[in-house]
Structure 1
């Protein structure tokens, strides 16, 4: 910056003329150089630019035009080096000031460029103005001497604009209202009476479907106490974090709905987050039967539909926003409450930059907006549970099911016993087979959970032992019989299923392991008279597939519903009398410190899908580890007992939630390059930590090969940094990343609070 007071080259006297002040926009780029940059606001743009809008600015010596986000408008001394803003892209800000502050926090916390964060906060369909078109609009020009010599039609045009909202109308609306042709408008423009402007209008309107009104349910004493705590928090107008720990079927959703009714009566809006797209249809139905204006945000909407919902929410007309992870960024201008159902679910974590967790973002947004945040789960995450112990969240317990119904009996089946081996002729044991038969005979419905897709989880030659691997990931390929292909579920690689061994050409090829596709075939063979439906990522590809599947199951047209974890949570079907967990060990022995927690949550959640009706329910859990405390706790529906055993283990090793964790993954096409750079960065971490004078304040683990060492053609090494001081950990990571600025052949990922350790 040049000093305003400069010496005159001609007089030798100090220039004492007052500095000229101009309006300056502080911006960040959509992509490109990081940091905040200043640009001068030309006089023609004064009053038209606001924080949250996108603008086009010149960058670099070539002055190429790039897109930037305006963060702030301020007045400061003019600087001849400042460049002028070239154009305004958006007519109005795309985000509220609260969302802009949230994005700035996310950039700092998740160590991600602010431009990248804003690209996530504002959906691409909104930035691209999907579902809109440019249409001529007209407004009255300032006329000091009134509107002289108007014909009758011209007078009707002027009168229509004077009565219009904002004194502006589209061409079609104006000609229709005034009963004239466009020639009349063109004549008024030539005379300087009208101003013609191009503006966008939406050609598709949001779906504001309402369902037949459902009666307000009567709460039991525990639900009523929970509701009163939330209402009190809403009334204070301050942030408050609340965790509802309620067993499956305890009526958490009805508490949410009545709390939101209280919020809506106060003229406020609510955001309700659900973890899976599969839960959205049922949740939306519940809310649309109680509220008039419910918006929906999830990935299965078209771009035009999503953009229409976004604009509708921003207008302030929407009462409730229901959606998956990204709905936390809904631009609600009168937000009064955030509810996050099934808060323990890992799908709330985004695995692409910025790698945010919706729970932490929701907590921060609630703090910024000074509103309550309600988290709910029958199996809370240990992060949220630990926060209740630290006094950061208020704990509400709902320990009983509504209507006095008991929790279903859960019985483990030990797969190690000889009677459950090959004599069972498949993956369904004799005990589970008999229970399915009995449930169907009594008119009940059955849910079978197997958290593995495909027909066979690996393909192996019994002659030479060769296993068919993904060439890019070095992971066993999964056989999908319906496609006659083998697929990699990580990178998408596919190939025809082999009829002979690619290595020795033997025909002794074996398709081993069990996925949902093979389970479906076995169920249909064992129970040919029963109607069966499979729900997994392969069978639920279309937007309508989820709605159709749940509708058929609810109507009783499907007797056996089987699938992956998408059927394990949040669903309420009173006629389900049996749940079978085909293999409870699919995640129990993963190289992940959360393996036990996820197994407990999965078994407990799917168990909660039964026993919700008058006929009770039974849960059978097939496992090779029936004595494991995660399985035993799930059998007893004992979350607090599980947490009491798991938290000391986390504390002993310093893992979350006791401390914060940042994972750095370094990838390269050559293993030696990935390993070498990982070692160099780890040394940098250790050196920076020692220089702080607090060597015990954090712990550097690694580098080591990642559990999935080769993925998408690259070798991966990872380093973990653990500690309680968030700012210290972020400082260490930034110092370490400076080493990688010289790296040309490697790529890296910084994952703050990771949930996937593979």
Structure 2
């Protein structure tokens, strides 16, 4: 019987690809194993075994697979089921989900190897200089990699040279797969078997009396073995005996010591796990019981708890319960910065059962978490991570906690799959028959609407932990302050007064400005010209720290000019302000205080967040200036004052969610103030203090905000009343984008008649030299979502069949929250 294997390739293909396999391979292979397969002319890919069957492909001749890469499946059936849902719901391919889910080290790459053609007769006079250099290198080496050729010729474009040599019959090309994951091996030592008896050890010490350093090492090893009762690392022994590695090497060479290696995880958590979980307050205990009752009837429950109400302690009790049942728990966070604070707290309770998974971890570290979960080890029972942790191989999930569920960073925008982690988490929990808890002080309108409709359970926690009062929120009218000349830079007299008082009392301050850099616009006061990004339709942001103008969309940067590029006058001035400028001004106002900044520029490293947060917690920083990273659930004990430098640039944003997001952001940042027994103070500087949203923030009126925003959503047909699918067209040619978008919109209107908006250029229509144009599809509740998507995919396939449109990139974004 002939067997065939369908595989998932890590590229955007609409269908699985079929390969021929032998009987023995068919018996051995299981769904979820990796196989190396040829694809295209000469590429080799790592693919995932999907289904084994007896039906040959109709449109092409099935190739044979190269090799099987795993002994056991590394992707589970439940995981594949979840991936299929994501691919289907978010209109992308399984290959794109696979690429997003699996650590890079799992997706092996093929590398081209260049070898000499042994049978060819080579006339060296026919070779030019570059060709001769490669030919000569192969006289001394059996093979070269492409990277080696780049360094030999010292140029990037080497393929024409290599191709010319292949055509002349001098070279042959081979493809070789190489494993990218390297296990971390730690070097250990022990005393050689010969010297285990007391007499032999005594003899050895006498022999080594003339080598005191070596004798010291043996004595240190002996005392370590006696006290530790575990394998001894070389690094430990060197530290204890104050010896260099050469001394230990000499003892190994003499066969007195023998070295061996043990594979270990790269991320090790020190200690912890013995601390008892905290006693809950009466209010927390009631809420915990309410959640458990809600879980009996509903698989999803929304916990609406005000800032600093102690939601984390409730989560800890629920986690503890699941771990005692031997279940796995996934704790999702919107921001990597949050994992820093939380991991420490959870390790104190659960020790090494905690595993962390997010994009700042190296590929090898992520592989280890994957393996630990796949093997259902105890060291990965509780997984904390950002949205990508959803795609891991869970086997017996009991609970998913989505903390700060309203956060927009749960939505993946680029590349595909463009999934929303909160919604995908609810589906994952259903697949595992587990429960989902959504927690937030400012729930998204979608979740609150679902709770009010009875789809989710709903539990409220209205008081702060230890009955601390909610912060006192005051609105400062900037127009009035500027008129009366009561401003110093961007600080009103009221804010300076409160800051001085707070610092005198020994408390800390957070200042929030949702723009990084020094100034978003540089303008010539003579001719009005402003430096623009050459690749995007945006002005360049001035970063004083590096004296650079930078584009926050494509990363383009240039040195800050001294004169205007249009009129030549040295009259350049900055307009607007970012976190850098606020930091500068604070240092001038409070020269004796320690000021730090937390934004994308200062937290680029793997431990960037950790360093700043730890310093702030240990009170080495008095004033912390930052962007929205600061708003997300961080817990600082000694912050009394929060200043929002300018609320208006949040409110005046061209997005139907601008007001909801402004409310959430300001309420969250206000919630960082006064988290112990002191009452916090929040000052919001604005030109429009009578704005409804600002009034609602100042009185903590979530329900009024919800009612008002829902009224708008009903009137203008936006989520959660209608579903949204946004289609974006991208191409470097302006006219082609226009033609493509018009063709697509016309086809959509033929099917859907109404509820198609656009095509329209967004406010920033060119990014990275590509013009963007959007179409918005609104889907009423009575319209089938799956049939709508089928119709869109048919139109999309017809669109791709038009030759002129093939080069236009189409991005389908479902639930464009």
TM category, shorter: 0.7 to 0.9
Give the match for residue 399 of structure 1.
462
In structure 1, the gaps of 5 or more residues are: 1-19, 136-199, 690-694
Give the match for residue 224 of structure 1.
285
Give me the whole-angstrom Cα distance separating, in 1, the residues matched to 2:5 and 2:181: 30
Cα offset for 1:739? 4.1
Cα offset for 1:740? 2.9
Give the match for residue 633 of structure 1.
696
Select 2:579's aligned residue among 516, 519, 522: 516
Cα offset for 1:534? 0.4
Select 2:746's aligned residue among 683, 691, 702: 683
Rate the CA distance shift 1:545–1:36 in 2: closer, same or farther, 3 A: closer
Aligned: 1:70 with 2:79: no
Cα offset for 1:231? 4.0
Aligned: 1:665 with 2:665: no
Maintained 8 Å contact 1:685/1:733: yes
Rate the CA distance shift 1:359–1:134 in 2: closer, same or farther, 3 A: closer
Maintained 8 Å contact 2:663/2:693: yes
Rate the CA distance shift 1:473–1:735 in 2: closer, same or farther, 3 A: same
Worse-matched range after superposition: 70-79 or 244-253: 70-79
Rate the CA distance shift 1:510–1:59 in 2: closer, same or farther, 3 A: closer
* Coordinate RMSD, CA, aligned: 2.4
Aligned: 1:330 with 2:427: no
Rate the CA distance shift 1:648–1:281 in 2: closer, same or farther, 3 A: same
Worse-matched range after superposition: 607-616 or 312-321: 312-321
SS in 2 for 1:667: strand
Maintained 8 Å contact 1:457/1:476: yes
Maintained 8 Å contact 1:721/1:729: no
Rate the CA distance shift 1:624–1:204 in 2: closer, same or farther, 3 A: same
Select 1:242's aligned residue among 277, 301, 308: 301
Select 2:808's aligned residue among 742, 746, 750: 746
SS in 1 for 2:417: coil
Aligned: 1:106 with 2:75: no
Map Cα deviations across residues 584-622 of structure 1 (whole Å, 9 max, x no partner): 122211110000011101100001001211221100001
Map Cα deviations across residues 448-505 of structure 1 (whole Å, 9 max, x no partner): 0000000011100000000111111120100000111000000001011111100000
Give me the whole-angstrom Cα distance separating, in 2, the residues matched to 1:457 and 1:435: 27
Cα offset for 1:212? 6.6
Rate the CA distance shift 1:700–1:210 in 2: closer, same or farther, 3 A: farther
Q: How does 1:272-671 map to 2 (within 5 A)?
A: 272-292=331-351, 293-316=353-376, 317=378, 318-352=380-414, 353-419=416-482, 423-671=486-734
SS in 2 for 1:417: helix
TM-score normalised over the length of structure 1: 0.83
Give me the whole-angstrom Cα distance separating, in 1, the residues matched to 2:75 and 2:795: 33
Give the match for residue 322 of structure 2.
263
Worse-matched range after superposition: 328-337 or 471-480: 328-337
Select 2:100's aligned residue among 87, 97, 120: 120
Give me the whole-angstrom Cα distance separating, in 2, the residues matched to 1:43 and 1:489: 55
Maintained 8 Å contact 1:531/1:560: yes
Map Cα deviations across residues 42-70 of structure 1 (whole Å, 9 max, x no partner): 1221342111122234557x696544322
Worse-matched range after superposition: 737-746 or 225-234: 225-234
Give me the whole-angstrom Cα distance separating, in 1, the residues matched to 2:687 and 2:787: 43
Cα offset for 1:423? 4.3
SS in 2 for 1:707: coil
Name whichever structure is richer in helix by fraction.
Answer: 2
Rate the CA distance shift 1:669–1:421 in 2: closer, same or farther, 3 A: farther
Maintained 8 Å contact 1:132/1:202: no
SS in 1 for 2:651: coil
Rate the CA distance shift 1:420–1:454 in 2: closer, same or farther, 3 A: farther
Cα offset for 1:205? 4.3
Map Cα deviations across residues 610-645 of structure 1 (whole Å, 9 max, x no partner): 121122110000112222222111111121111011
Aligned: 1:700 with 2:750: no
Rate the CA distance shift 1:57–1:662 in 2: closer, same or farther, 3 A: same
Give the match for residue 150 of structure 1.
none
Maintained 8 Å contact 2:760/2:775: yes
TM-score normalised over the length of structure 2: 0.77
Rate the CA distance shift 1:586–1:402 in 2: closer, same or farther, 3 A: same
SS in 2 for 1:587: helix
Map Cα deviations across residues 626-671 of structure 1 (whole Å, 9 max, x no partner): 2222211111112111101101101111111111101111122122
Cα offset for 1:730? 1.1
Aligned: 1:89 with 2:72: no
SS in 1 for 2:650: coil
Aligned residues: 661
